[in-house]
């Protein structure tokens, strides 16, 4: 495109820089405004978690933008969940069964920095740090930013605004004041706190470095994702209030007693347990459902600003990246007609983002509870078996979400519900795969499931 248009993106977290690359590649002049300092120049925390799980949807969106190669060397393969029982025993539950069905641990800071470098150096995107969006007029796209160095107000008028300013989005809150705009925030009664397992004396991981570790304990859990330096970022997910909760862990003795009684095998790996526990804040978790994601052809919300999800399916960032790719695809389809594109984006993304929000909530139960349940384990084995026997009809739901970007989230949810009923019927009263009637399985699968497109 030849005519250069001023497009402002608010928020340079994970989605903002990738979106800026997509939009610059379409020929737009893009400026990104970010409230924090430039993390490439100052030592500031990268955001809500130190590392994250990157899966096929996110990888595909990075690849399509030509951005995958800048981060590939930082990705650590995680082939499955390593379940840590109370007695210290461990067993691996592979995520998938085919070549390449793995997910990756990646540093949030490193990914964010490298995407900003690419946007700035290769695509001419301008970044303005230390600029906090304070107000926005949706009709005129006039914005007021507060600059942190001098508290001055900077006024900017854009042709249109794309908001990737995260779960607390000022843009979404402004849109909420407009009639016809619906926004709901559901805070989870559980919070999270990050701790750290350091590398061993040789800089190696002290527990398996290619797994996502889980210590499931029913109402709560501990997880750990590997980092390239040999350390792990550990996250405790726990109710905020109640008998076993963050509120109750209000002193070093309470914390040590809790870990000793619930996670005894982790204690030797956490020499700084009490120090880390009280140094790191407990973070809130929640789901945001809003609609529509746009205002006329002026404003579009993407990523957490439109649809934050709880982190238990490891899909918030992946979904935010998929938003960027989907917008690009829709713009192609509608010949860069912004008002059609924004309306289509809202309409097409809404069912998918709602679906991943639901599945992420369900996955919390699975991770903290079901992963040790014999029925769940039998159904998981059977799901892999059905995928082998009927590959064009049956793909386990987890695999559809994590490894199949061509299957929309809403389809994965819909098929997943039917598949769950099939798995339940086939495993009722059974203890092992040998007892499953595969002839009946074949009938059920072909009766109830359409072939996968």
Ligand X SMILES: Cc1cc2nc3c(=O)[nH]c(=O)nc-3n(C[C@H](O)[C@H](O)[C@H](O)COP(=O)(O)OP(=O)(O)OC[C@H]3O[C@@H](n4cnc5c(N)ncnc54)[C@H](O)[C@@H]3O)c2cc1C
Distance, CA of 22 to CA of 62 (rounded, Å): 10
Nearer to ligand X, 39 or 436 (CB): 39
Task: State the minimum distance, in angstroms, from the CB of residue 113 to ligand X.
Answer: 12
Integer Cα distance of 82 and 367 in angstroms = 11
Residue 436 token pair: 């499953």
Q: Rounded to an integer, what distance in angstroms lies between the CA atom of residue 316 and that of residue 308?
A: 7
Distance (Å, whole) CA 78 – CA 87: 23
Helices (H), 263-337: 273-279, 304-307, 316-333
Binding site for ligand X (CB under 6 A): 10-16, 33-36, 47-49, 52-53, 132-133, 164-166, 168, 170, 192, 283, 303-305, 311, 314-318, 320
Quick one: 21 exposed, middle or buried, by C-beta within 10 A (0-12, 13-18, 19+)? buried
Question: Maximum Cα–Cα distance for the chain, whole Å?
Answer: 73
Nearest-approach distance from CB 234 to ligand X, in angstroms: 11
Which residue in the shown chain puts its C-beta closest to ligand X?
A: 13
Pick between residue 212 and residue 343 the one whose CB is nearest to ligand X.
212
Question: Least CB distance from residue 8 to ligand X, whole Å?
Answer: 10
Q: Work out how close the CB of 283 gets to ligand X at its nearest, in angstroms, rounded to a whole number.
A: 6
Contact 197, 224 (CB under 8 A): yes
Work out how close the CB of 51 gets to ligand X at its nearest, in angstroms, rounded to a whole number: 8
Across-strand partners of 221? 216, 237
6-10/29-33 β-pairing:
parallel
* Smallest distance from ligand X to CB 321, Å: 8
| CA–centroid distance for 230 within its chain | 23
Cβ pair 156, 8 in contact under 8 A: yes
Would you say 49 or 379 has its CB closer to ligand X? 49
Min CB(385)–ligand X separation in Å:
28
């Amino acid at each position: 495109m030849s005519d250069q248009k001023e497009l402002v993106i608010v928020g340079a977290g994970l989605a903002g820089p990738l979106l800026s690359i997509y939009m610059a590649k379409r020929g737009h002049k893009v400026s990104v405004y970010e409230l924090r300092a430039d993390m490439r120049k100052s030592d500031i925390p990268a955001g809500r978690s130190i590392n994250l799980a990157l899966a096929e949807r996110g990888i595909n969106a990075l690849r399509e933008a030509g951005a995958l190669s800048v981060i590939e060397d930082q990705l650590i393969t995680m082939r499955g969940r390593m379940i840590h029982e109370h007695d210290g025993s461990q067993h691996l539950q592979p995520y998938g069964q085919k070549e390449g069905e793995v997910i990756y641990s990646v540093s949030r800071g490193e990914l964010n920095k490298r995407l900003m470098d690419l946007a700035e150096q290769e695509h001419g995107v301008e970044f303005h740090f230390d600029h906090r969006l304070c107000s926005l007029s949706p009709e005129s796209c006039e914005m007021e930013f507060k600059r942190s160095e001098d508290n001055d107000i900077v006024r900017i008028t854009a042709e249109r605004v794309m908001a990737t300013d995260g779960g607390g989005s000022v843009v979404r809150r402004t849109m909420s004041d407009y009639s016809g705009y619906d926004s709901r925030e559901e805070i989870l009664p559980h919070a999270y706190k990050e701790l750290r397992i350091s590398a061993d004396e040789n800089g190696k991981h002290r527990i398996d470095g290619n797994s996502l570790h889980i210590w499931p304990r029913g109402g709560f859990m501990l997880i750990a994702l590997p980092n390239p330096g040999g350390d792990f970022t550990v996250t405790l997910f726990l109710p905020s209030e109640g008998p076993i909760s963050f509120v109750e862990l209000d002193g070093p003795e309470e914390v040590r007693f809790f870990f000793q009684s619930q996670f005894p095998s982790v204690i030797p790996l956490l020499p700084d347990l009490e120090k880390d526990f009280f140094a790191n804040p407990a973070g809130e978790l929640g789901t945001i459902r809003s609609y529509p994601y746009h205002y006329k052809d002026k404003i579009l919300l993407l990523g957490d600003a439109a649809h934050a999800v709880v982190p238990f399916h490891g899909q918030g960032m992946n979904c935010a990246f998929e938003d960027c790719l989907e917008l690009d695809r829709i713009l192609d389809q509608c010949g860069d007609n912004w008002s059609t594109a924004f309306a289509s984006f809202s309409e097409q993304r809404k069912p998918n983002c709602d679906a991943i929000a639901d599945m992420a909530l369900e996955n919390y139960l699975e991770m903290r509870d079901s992963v040790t349940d014999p029925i769940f384990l039998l159904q998981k084995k059977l799901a892999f078996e059905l995928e082998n026997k009927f590959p064009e009809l049956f793909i386990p739901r987890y695999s559809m979400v994590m490894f199949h970007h061509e299957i929309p989230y809403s389809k994965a949810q819909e098929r997943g519900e039917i598949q769950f009923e099939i798995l339940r019927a086939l495993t009722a009263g059974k203890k092992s795969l040998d007892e499953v009637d595969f002839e009946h399985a074949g009938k059920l699968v072909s009766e109830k499931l359409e072939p996968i497109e």
